[in-house]
Structure 1
């Protein structure tokens, strides 16, 4: 009897230690790595590419994983921040797996949302994650939006005919959580007095004075670069994007730096720091743990305070101080529509003409 084909598998060469992919009847392909995890990722990509349909497929003939693989390999490299697409695809693939695209229905989209909102639980012995971490409705909506974009891309590029509809949860109301002056002071002091969270104090100051988004703050340096923004302390300017970064919907216009913040930045730069936010001489990729510690020490736990709250706070304070709404929109990189929808009611002159007109009881001046 002929031997049964083993299918695609990894094999490590004894002479070089590099993993190769063996697939009966298709020859061998090098992964170019000695790392097992990287080799497994290469095998997964090989499987996705190998099984990709060569012509238009119906929703029953193509899996959701294949749809997302096509979208990730062809479209993601063309966007300004492909990592955002990767972050969304990971949980989508875990849930949908090898289900056909025809499985995308209203109820399965709801089931995805329920699964993403489960509480994290781990096996007490192996510590293996048994359930996924809970996420917000907004995050679920973004992830399903990525699935919808992937389906739309495959349809437009001729990979998929009669594409299914991805049903998104209702868009949540914009958050209006901002810090009072007292809360901001407590948070800043809690971060500063903790030796392991002093870099968060810098982060808080920049967030409150500029309303810059978290990722952009963490990428700031004192010299121009291609991967992030920089501060020009000589001329008092902040450039929130690197020279090689493309403009996205998350607008990041250059801004002038407030005098009080500029004094801090000049002092930090004089210490020969390379990154604006540093920890032990290195740039910071994540502030999740240190931020949680500062929030807890400030007595703000369970109040919905996140790094993005600093952005809301900066814009809200600008409105409360009577700043021009159109100039503020340009400074913070916010659309006029969002300014009127989310922040305008904080302005002392908000609807003042309408209130005065109503008070006149229909009489003209």
Structure 2
């Protein structure tokens, strides 16, 4: 009568330093460990992955920190803005690093939101990065299952835009500042083109390796450089508004190499300078992104067609319709006429 299979177990050969794993029907394999305690861990990992083609592990055997590290090392370098993933991981690690993936559930995610004590938008983006890292590890065969991250409810859409009086006050406050005239330039470009902050700060007056540029000869602005990766935040070319072009030509004539520069050097960020100008202008809840909202809102109020606005502002027609459509002069006009008893046939 055959002996019953003993299953996977540790074995120590007399003249060998390492512990080995023996399993019925399988060749002996070294654990690479001389310590019994370490060999036990190797045996546990073997049992957890036995019968599978790859080295995938159970969520209970992998930490969130390990999954985030894999995501940072393998995936982040392939995206256009890896620093954004880095910022999120930096925020996630103090809380999640030592926790096993099996601990990822609604209660833990809500506890993270409370511990982080930041806006819903911020924690939602960070937890979204954790989910993306988990999904990547599962897709690449590192783990056998992908736990679901519970995200906080998305914040309400911010539709803060500037009136023309507020925009004038903001510009004057920036221009009046002794060291903030570059902020005034940033504001002008934002109001005239609705271009995102990062794209504006990378734009020069000649083709470059950093970002886009203003072709003053042809009157076209290129929001993305030839060697930059295109992202979900579209940056399509568009004609330069004539009034802005006059400012750009003057700045170029003064010897500027970059659209927004200080003492000849390109500005990396305008967060503090912009906040100071907004404070001096007496404006609340205003950020650099408010300029994009303002530019699109003004265009819609002037009756620009939605598809033209989508092309010029490098924003999808769906977003134009959903976020800014109510500013159009003919918004719900047919519904109003119907209620007034007016036929539009």
Q: Distance in 2 between matches of 1:214 and 1:263?
A: 21
| CA deviation profile, 1:145-187 (whole Å, cap 9, x unmatched) | 1111100000011001122110111112211100000100000
- Conserved? CA contact 1:216–1:229, under 8 Å: yes
Q: Distance in 2 between matches of 1:360 and 1:156?
A: 58
Q: Distance in 2 between matches of 1:269 and 1:67?
A: 48
Listed as ranges, the matches of 1:321-336 within 5 Å are: 321-336=302-317
| Aligned residue number for residue 123 of structure 2 | 140
Q: Distance in 2 between matches of 1:245 and 1:137?
A: 30
Q: Distance in 1 between matches of 2:79 and 2:230?
A: 10
- Classify the secondary structure of the residue corresponding to 1:248: coil
| Aligned residue number for residue 300 of structure 2 | 319
Offset at residue 328 of structure 1 (A): 0.1
| Aligned residue number for residue 85 of structure 1 | 85
- Classify the secondary structure of the residue corresponding to 1:60: helix
- Conserved? CA contact 2:300–2:328, under 8 Å: yes
The TM-score with structure 2 as length reference comes to: 0.82
- Conserved? CA contact 1:273–1:281, under 8 Å: yes
- Conserved? CA contact 2:334–2:344, under 8 Å: no
- Classify the secondary structure of the residue corresponding to 2:189: helix
- Coordinate RMSD, CA, aligned: 1.6
- Conserved? CA contact 2:105–2:148, under 8 Å: yes
The yes-or-no answer on 1:194 pairing with 2:177 is yes
| Aligned residue number for residue 97 of structure 2 | 97
Offset at residue 226 of structure 1 (A): 2.2
- Number of corresponding residues: 294
Q: Distance in 2 between matches of 1:364 and 1:93?
A: 60
| CA deviation profile, 1:24-67 (whole Å, cap 9, x unmatched) | x9xxxxxxxxxxxxxxxxxxxxxxxxxxx982111111111110
Q: Distance in 2 between matches of 1:115 and 1:298?
A: 35
The structure whose Rg is larger is 2
Offset at residue 84 of structure 1 (A): 1.4
| Aligned residue number for residue 199 of structure 2 | 216
| Aligned residue number for residue 20 of structure 1 | none
The yes-or-no answer on 1:115 pairing with 2:115 is yes
- Classify the secondary structure of the residue corresponding to 2:60: coil
- Conserved? CA contact 1:141–1:169, under 8 Å: yes
- Conserved? CA contact 1:221–1:276, under 8 Å: yes
- Conserved? CA contact 2:162–2:290, under 8 Å: yes
- Classify the secondary structure of the residue corresponding to 1:231: strand
- Conserved? CA contact 1:68–1:150, under 8 Å: yes
| Aligned residue number for residue 236 of structure 2 | 253
Offset at residue 108 of structure 1 (A): 1.4
Higher alpha-carbon deviation: 196-205 or 99-108: 99-108
Q: Distance in 2 between matches of 1:197 and 1:286?
A: 12
- Classify the secondary structure of the residue corresponding to 2:61: coil
- Conserved? CA contact 1:233–1:266, under 8 Å: yes
| Aligned residue number for residue 25 of structure 2 | none
- Classify the secondary structure of the residue corresponding to 2:214: strand
The TM-score with structure 1 as length reference comes to: 0.78
Offset at residue 354 of structure 1 (A): 2.2
Q: Unmatched 5+ residue regions in structure 2?
A: 1-32, 34-48
| Aligned residue number for residue 171 of structure 1 | 154
| CA deviation profile, 1:306-341 (whole Å, cap 9, x unmatched) | 010000000000001111111101111212221111
Offset at residue 140 of structure 1 (A): 1.3
| Aligned residue number for residue 272 of structure 1 | 255
Offset at residue 116 of structure 1 (A): 2.3
- Conserved? CA contact 1:227–1:243, under 8 Å: no
Q: Unmatched 5+ residue regions in structure 1?
A: 1-24, 26-52, 118-134
Where has structure 1 moved over 6 Å in runs of 4 or more? none
Offset at residue 364 of structure 1 (A): 7.4
| Aligned residue number for residue 76 of structure 1 | 76
